[in-house]
Structure 1
Amino acid sequence: MIKLFQYNWMVREEWFQRFKQVSTEELLRKRIGGAGSILYTLFHILDVEYSWIRGIQGKQEIIVQFEDYETLQQIKELSDCWLTEVQAFLHTWSNDFEHETVTVPWTEGDFIKGEILRHLIAHEIHHMGQLSVWAREIGLQPVSANVIGRGLPS
């Protein structure tokens, strides 16, 4: 499963690089579908990943406001900061955790840890597809979604 997280992080980094050439105004422009804007979608991806990873670990939720991260550089820095913690946790993952349940403060019910990880992978891929549509709308070539040829670490 970690390979797919690594794939998502690689693609995420490429999106940060691709969107450097776009004005903040354009990145904040409200769009049809998805999470509403390019910047907010990137922020949302990070927030969901980090919140669920902390939830799996039984750690307190850290609430951040998008209004505090309204530039691409700020969101990239947040991604880099949180990525270190997420990677460290995933490297401790064991199949023994797969069917353990967890509760989180932002919604009711019990959730299965392995299912949460698979959701996080699919969630980011889903939003990357939306970013691809929006990139085309503003005249950018989308980041490749291809897993093949990326040289993902073993």
Structure 2
Amino acid sequence: MRSFFEYNWQVRDDWLEWCEQISTKELLKPRTGGPGSILYTLFHVIEVEYSWIKAIRGKEDEVIPFEQYDTLEQLKKLSNDCRAEIMKFIEKGLFGNKNESVYVSWENQSYTKDEILHHLIAHEIHHIGQLSVWARELEFKPVSAHFIGRTEHGRS
């Protein structure tokens, strides 16, 4: 499972880098078929991952306001900060006891760790697809979503 988190983070970093060629106005423009703009979609992926991992850790959810991260640089910092915290937890055994039940306050329901981890991987990949469609609409080449060819420590 760790390799899929690392894959998602590599692809996310590639998308954040890809965004540097697009104007802020275009990054914030509302889009059809997703949670909002390109920038908001990347924010959404980061925030959702962080919230679910906090739930697994037994920590209270905190709302992260998009308005504090509505620039590319702020969003890169949020991504790096959340990732650093999640990596510490992964290294301490996030994946132990995958059948353990986890309560999530925003749905007033419980799921297993395994269900949550699979959801997080699928969620980010889903939004990567949306970003790819929007990139093509803007006549830009999208970031490669290939898992094969990426290494544990970066792009091959």
TM-score by length of 1: 0.95
Aligned alpha-carbon RMSD (Å)? 1.2
Unaligned runs of 5+ in 2: none
2 CA distance for matches of 1:94 and 1:125?
A: 20
Structure 2 counterpart of 1:130: 130
Residue 36 and residue 95 in structure 1: after superposition, are their counterparts in 2 closer, same or farther (change >3 A)?
closer
Structure 1 counterpart of 2:115: 115
Structure 2 counterpart of 1:48: 48
Q: Percent identity?
A: 52
Residue 101 and residue 17 in structure 1: after superposition, are their counterparts in 2 closer, same or farther (change >3 A)?
same
Unaligned runs of 5+ in 1: none
TM-score by length of 2: 0.94
2 CA distance for matches of 1:117 and 1:49?
A: 9
Shift of 1:92: 2.2
2 CA distance for matches of 1:124 and 1:151?
A: 19
Size of the aligned set, in residue pairs, is 153
Runs of 4+ in 1 over 3 A off after TM superposition: none
AA partner of residue 141 (structure 2): Q
2 CA distance for matches of 1:88 and 1:62?
A: 19
1 CA distance for matches of 2:51 and 2:143?
A: 26
Shift of 1:94: 5.8
Structure 2 counterpart of 1:32: 32
AA partner of residue 74 (structure 2): Q
Most deviating of 93-102 and 82-91: 93-102
Most deviating of 90-99 and 54-63: 90-99
Aligned to 1:102, the other structure's residue is in SS state: strand
Q: Deviations over 1:110-135 (max 9, x none)?
A: 11111101100000000000000001
Residue 68 and residue 95 in structure 1: after superposition, are their counterparts in 2 closer, same or farther (change >3 A)?
closer
Structure 2 counterpart of 1:143: 143
Structure 2 counterpart of 1:69: 69
